[in-house]
Amino acid sequence: MNAWSFAICALAGLSTALGGLIVALQRHPSERFLAAVLGFSAGVMLYISLVELLPEGVDGLEEAGVAGAAMWGPVAFFAGVLLIAVIDRFVPEDINPHEEPSKTGSVRMRKVGVITALAIAIHNFPEGFATFFVALQDVSLALPLAFAIAIHNIPEGIAVAVPLREATGKKWAAAGWAALSGLAEPVGAIIGYIFLKPFLGPASLGITFAVIAGIMVFVSLDKLLPTAIATGRHHAAVYGVVGGMAVMAVSLVLLA
């Protein structure tokens, strides 16, 4: 297993710890800043998914001589969308990982915090798989992807830490649980590597890239953008999206 690829994946996942740290230190970023950063993350993920990962997936299928590669690439893409949508379906609305639960009773807060941590772990599993496999092929491509995932993991850490802090009064323990919830990403990388290593080749990698692209597009459109817009800073969110796409475009040109 490539150490650098795993390290990139682990750091992206454990950024939930930053969300927990924010809660522990009682620091609240401004709505404008949060909207812009979440929008930026969405822009990076959308651009890299549609401009790099999906086309690279189709190229891999063509290189492997798969008939109808131009068709199977999009099929794999939407399979990725379906995969993450099914996972997302099992996360109840009132404990959506990207939303801060309302503060009610301490028993309910403890329950919400624990269930949210579990939901986030399930949600982050395919993200760890995605980051790791991209990093195995191209570290320069994985770095901005990992950065985007890290940014959107911070609110997830906040979502775990807030109810646990309110329920127990132990802010650092709550921050610790937020950090642990991000371990699903490196775990996803390890399990994916163990099971898929024997099958790695142009065709399997092509399908994997297309599936990953679908996962990232769904996360961007279903989680990042709605959360950014919900801050009430619509224009900051949109500017963030465009900025993320622009930075990604420039970085890919420079690294080409």
Mean pLDDT of 43-67: 88
Mean pLDDT of 22-39: 76
pLDDT reading at 256 higher than 70: no
Give the range with max mean pLDDT: 106-110, 186-190, 195-199: 186-190
Residue 113's pLDDT is what?
58
10 Å Cβ neighbour count for 70?
10
Residue 82's pLDDT is what?
92
> How many domains, the chain?
1
Which residue has tokens 């794999």? Answer: 76
pLDDT reading at 71 higher than 60: yes
Confidence of residue 58 (pLDDT cuts 50, 70, 90): very high
Binding site, annotated residues for Fe(2+): 124, 127, 153, 156, 185
Residue 123's pLDDT is what?
60
- Kindly report, residue by residue over 79-113, the tens digit of the pLDDT: 999 988 887 777 555 544 444 444 445 665 566 55
Confidence of residue 255 (pLDDT cuts 50, 70, 90): low
pLDDT reading at 182 higher than 80: yes
Counting beta carbons within 10 angstroms of the beta carbon of residue 85, is it exposed (0 to 12), middle (13 to 18) or buried (19 or more)?
Answer: middle
Q: Report the C-alpha gap between 4 and 10 in whole angstroms.
A: 10
CA-wise closest residue to 200 among 133, 149, 139, 117: 133
Q: What is the mean pLDDT of the chain?
A: 78
Q: Give 101 or 70, the one with higher predicted confidence.
A: 70
Sequence-ordered list of residues with C-beta below 8 angstroms from that of 255, at least 6 positions apart, any chain: 140
pLDDT reading at 21 higher than 80: yes
- Kindly report, residue by residue over 152-178, the tens digit of the pLDDT: 677 777 767 766 776 777 888 888 888
Binding site, annotated residues for Zn(2+): 127, 152, 156
Residue 99's pLDDT is what?
44
Sequence-ordered list of residues with C-beta below 8 angstroms from that of 195, at least 6 positions apart, any chain: none
Binding site, annotated residues: 124, 127, 152-153, 156, 185
Query: What six digits make up the tokens of 165?
Result: 């802090």
The domain of 46 spans 3-98+105-255
